[in-house]
Amino acid sequence: MAFEPVIGIEVHAQLKTNTKLFCGCPTTFGQATNSHVCPVCLGLPGALPVLNRQTVLFAIRAGLALNCQIQPQSVFARKNYFYPDLPKGYQISQFDLPLCTGGYVDIVVDGQPKRIGVTRIHMEEDAGKLLHQGAEAISGATHSLVDLNRACTPLIEIVSEPDIRSAQEAKIYVETLKQILEHIGVCDGNLEEGSLRADANVSIRPVGQDAFGTKTEVKNLNSFRSIERAVIYEIKRQEEALGRGEAIVQQTRHYDDTTQKTRAMRSKEEAHDYRYFPDPDLLPLVVTPQQIEEVRAQLPELPQARRKRYRDLGLGEHDCETLLNDLARLAYFDACVAVKGEVAPKLIANWILGEMTAVYKEGKHGFEGSPIIPERFVAFLLLIQTDKISGKIGKELLPKLIGSTQSPSELVASLGVSQMTDTSALDGIIADILAANPDVIEKVKSGKTNAADFLIGQVMKQTRGQAKPDLVRELIHQKIQSL
Ligand SMILES: [Zn+2]
């Protein structure tokens, strides 16, 4: 029997606020354990939560970017459970009345557009972290320590509709979501540090059947690769179980990256197990239409719009995607385009993604606070575009632009590296090289035109890269034909 996978994804994204969701403790990652805590996030009796305004603004921004309706009134609820990393004994989340509902994300799978529904986005606090001692994971550990720095860090949970039909779509959906959240500046999208975490709800059903099969929830997906692999494994596991006549058990499963398998963690809990109720310490959250419009007005350009703008500028798909995945470099590209004058955007992109990235990496420079300002970089590219210098000389020149007070054209003049476009100056050099290589000339004459590359290389070497390769090629072929 042929089965069709049905997948929904829950993404937890940590919001880039300076302080926590209900207290003033900093959210900085990687600090000394239990150094960023206070009575509120430690859950001490009598401490009262105060909602962080920035969290709400970020959550609304995410909701608008994902085409959701922003609810005028939403409610914080207590999700009750016990775990050592949750000192209050409950997590403050949103339950039946979330902030955002009914949105969507457009993804592209093998060149085809597909729309994935977003059921809801709600705000909630993160738990602390357990540090297992004596082993990598909880299994095999002798004991565990608790770090509450992360407790009460603001998250949004983005719940998709069960619209995803393959592991590939699941991966692309999370990649697309990450890109949007990064572009709108609400999440740094760092999967390794846990700023973005995904759980996948996976079920299968016979092709043609409308009713959903029993689902399992796969947790611990902390890379795009593990999302794809875990879903592939889980689909196969369920197909094999049904093939053997077994029923799928609704449960939460843990994905192990080393074995690339999922294993049962606990039987899947239902919402009513958590005894949700409105948090009596927090008033319902009221958002006015005016506040929503203020956030909408500040919404930056979304990746989809940017992609279209870059294509219109003549950039290829690969260049677009490479730019879109590095915000600092992308901002630099935009700044260059803003002052580009006659310089082709494609040339700007080529040099930023190629040589400049290499030079900056080597010199440990960043595109944020770039040592070469966009105006200077564009002036440099204009020299290449107008054949004042060759691309080869450009590569040598680029690092020299850093720390120099001379303009790019002054630098070219002082180094004496402007491109030789004077035919008469090249004629003599070419004549000498042809005279020294009669065998190569014979090869070219007998139809092996590629052999001329050697001669061109010799001319380039002799002119220290200053000759224009296209011109040299033309002159050499002319000369050989006239011999
Ligand atoms: Zn605190």
Could you tell me the residue range of the domain that residue 82 belongs to? 3-291
Nearest to 460 by CA among 428, 420, 422: 420
Confidence band of 421 (pLDDT split at 50, 70, 90): confident
Average pLDDT over residues 174-179: 96
Residues 127 and 228 in one domain: yes
Q: What is the pLDDT of residue 301?
A: 93
Residues 325 and 446 in one domain: no
> What is the CA(202)–ligand 1 centre distance, in A?
36
Tell me which of 121 and 450 has the higher pLDDT.
121
Confidence band of 265 (pLDDT split at 50, 70, 90): confident
Residues 321 and 270 in one domain: no
> What is the CA(63)–ligand 1 centre distance, in A?
26
Tell me which of 57 and 411 has the higher pLDDT.
57
Is 294's pLDDT higher than 90?
yes
Q: What is the pLDDT of residue 424?
A: 77
> What is the CA(47)–ligand 1 centre distance, in A?
10
Q: Report pLDDT digits (tens) over 358-382.
A: 999 998 999 999 999 999 999 999 9
Strand partners, 476: none
What percent of the chain has pLDDT above 90?
73
Q: What is the pLDDT of residue 8?
A: 98
> What is the CA(33)–ligand 1 centre distance, in A?
13
Q: What is the pLDDT of residue 403?
A: 84
Q: Tokens in use for 447?
A: 């139809």
Average pLDDT over residues 463-482: 84
Confidence band of 472 (pLDDT split at 50, 70, 90): confident
Average pLDDT over residues 444-449: 86
Nearest to 120 by CA among 139, 100, 104, 138: 100
What percent of the chain has pLDDT above 70?
100
Q: Would 338 be classed as within a structural domain? A: yes
> What is the CA(85)–ligand 1 centre distance, in A?
14
Confidence band of 465 (pLDDT split at 50, 70, 90): confident
Q: What is the pLDDT of residue 216?
A: 95
> What is the CA(148)–ligand 1 centre distance, in A?
9
Average pLDDT over the chain reads 93
Confidence band of 466 (pLDDT split at 50, 70, 90): confident
Residues 59 and 111 in one domain: yes
Q: Which residues make Cβ contacts (< 8 Å) with residue 428, sequence separation at least 6?
A: none
> What is the CA(149)–ligand 1 centre distance, in A?
8
> What is the CA(76)–ligand 1 centre distance, in A?
18
> What is the CA(157)–ligand 1 centre distance, in A?
21
Residues 277 and 319 in one domain: no
> What is the CA(124)–ligand 1 centre distance, in A?
15
> What is the CA(285)–ligand 1 centre distance, in A?
21
> What is the CA(11)–ligand 1 centre distance, in A?
24
Q: Would 396 be classed as within a structural domain? A: yes
Q: Would 478 be classed as within a structural domain? A: yes
> What is the CA(126)–ligand 1 centre distance, in A?
12
Q: Would 433 be classed as within a structural domain? A: yes
User: CATH number for the domain including 427?
Assistant: 1.10.10.410
Q: What is the pLDDT of residue 266?
A: 78
Q: What is the pLDDT of residue 130?
A: 93
> What is the CA(128)–ligand 1 centre distance, in A?
12
Among 258, 291, 324, the domain boundary falls at 291
Residues 380 and 471 in one domain: no
Confidence band of 445 (pLDDT split at 50, 70, 90): confident
Among 381, 397, 415, the domain boundary falls at 415
Q: What is the pLDDT of residue 467?
A: 82
> What is the CA(356)–ligand 1 centre distance, in A?
43
Residues 194 and 259 in one domain: yes
User: Which of 7-11, 163-167, 351-355, 412-416 is the least confident region?
Assistant: 412-416
Is 268's pLDDT higher than 80?
no
Q: Report pLDDT digits (tens) over 185-204.
A: 999 998 888 899 999 999 99
Total structural domains within the chain:
3
Q: What is the pLDDT of residue 194?
A: 86
Average pLDDT over residues 42-68: 97
> What is the CA(387)–ligand 1 centre distance, in A?
61
Confidence band of 422 (pLDDT split at 50, 70, 90): confident
Q: What is the pLDDT of residue 124?
A: 98
Tell how strand 251-256 and strand 216-221 pair up.
parallel
Residues 113 and 254 in one domain: yes
Q: Are 173 and 160 in contact (CB under 8 A)?
A: yes
**Look-up of token digits 């999208």:** 189
Residues 393 and 447 in one domain: no
> What is the CA(35)–ligand 1 centre distance, in A?
10
Q: Would 296 be classed as within a structural domain? A: no
User: Which of 8-17, 96-105, 453-462 is the least confident region?
Assistant: 453-462
Q: Would 141 be classed as within a structural domain? A: yes
Q: What is the pLDDT of residue 280?
A: 97
The side-by-side arrangement of strands in the sheet containing 277-278 is 90-94, 76-80, 277-278
CA 391/CA 389 separation, integer angstroms: 7
Q: Would 43 be classed as within a structural domain? A: yes
Confidence band of 305 (pLDDT split at 50, 70, 90): very high
User: Which of 146-150, 328-332, 337-341, 436-440 is the least confident region?
Assistant: 436-440
Q: What is the pLDDT of residue 462?
A: 84
Tell me which of 136 and 245 has the higher pLDDT.
245
Tell me which of 424 and 328 has the higher pLDDT.
328
Residues 280 and 170 in one domain: yes
Residues 264 and 399 in one domain: no
Among 358, 390, 415, the domain boundary falls at 415
Confidence band of 73 (pLDDT split at 50, 70, 90): very high
> What is the CA(25)–ligand 1 centre distance, in A?
4
Confidence band of 423 (pLDDT split at 50, 70, 90): confident
Residues 399 and 427 in one domain: no
> What is the CA(388)–ligand 1 centre distance, in A?
60
Is 483's pLDDT higher than 80?
no
Q: What is the pLDDT of residue 137?
A: 77
> What is the CA(37)–ligand 1 centre distance, in A?
4
Is 302's pLDDT higher than 80?
yes
Confidence band of 258 (pLDDT split at 50, 70, 90): confident
Confidence band of 480 (pLDDT split at 50, 70, 90): confident
> What is the CA(20)–ligand 1 centre distance, in A?
7
